[in-house]
């Protein structure tokens, strides 16, 4: 099982940008589809973005499409989420996830501890 550590969260104004990072351990990282999920207070955890093991395919929820970009660096065992044009509704704890199933979308069993993103209006 892969270990995941997120970083890069914080407080940002609406319209601003943040970049989340997820550091993964293990030699099999490059074989995993990776993704980001988020959970706002009082709500269920929801899918945000995913990227295939090679980086050749990306997927986004409708709520972030056109604003967020997921990427990965297999040489560094890293996954990133570039978040632009932030809105208050993006406020949530963001979690990195490993070994997703992409079709249909289903999260894998490995989760990070989460990083808080707060967007002020």
Distances (CA, A) of 55 to 17, 50, 70, 86: 22, 9, 9, 24
Compute CA distances 57 → 6, 34, 39, 49, 60, whole Å: 22, 11, 24, 11, 10
- At 96 the pLDDT is 98
Q: Evaluate whether 97 touches 1 at the Cβ level (below 8 Å).
A: no
Confidence category of residue 56, pLDDT binned at 50, 70, 90: very high
**27 pLDDT exceeds 80?**
no
**Band of residue 53 on the pLDDT scale cut at 50, 70, 90:** very high
67's enclosing H/E stretch is: none
Residue 78 to residue 3: CA distance in whole angstroms: 12
pLDDT digits (tens, 9 = 90+) for 57-85: 999 999 999 999 999 999 999 999 999 99
């Amino acid at each position: 099982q892969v270990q995941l550590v997120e970083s890069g969260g914080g407080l940002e104004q609406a319209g601003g940008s943040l970049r989340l990072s997820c550091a993964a351990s293990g030699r099999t990282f490059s074989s995993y589809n990776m993704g980001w999920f988020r959970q706002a207070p009082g709500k269920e955890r929801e899918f945000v973005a995913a990227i295939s093991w090679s980086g050749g395919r990306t997927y986004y929820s409708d709520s972030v499409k056109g604003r967020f970009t997921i990427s990965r660096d297999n040489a560094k065992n890293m996954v990133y989420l570039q978040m632009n044009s932030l809105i208050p509704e993006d406020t949530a704890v963001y979690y990195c996830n490993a070994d997703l199933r992409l079709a249909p979308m289903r999260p894998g069993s490995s989760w990070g501890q989460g990083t808080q993103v707060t967007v002020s209006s």
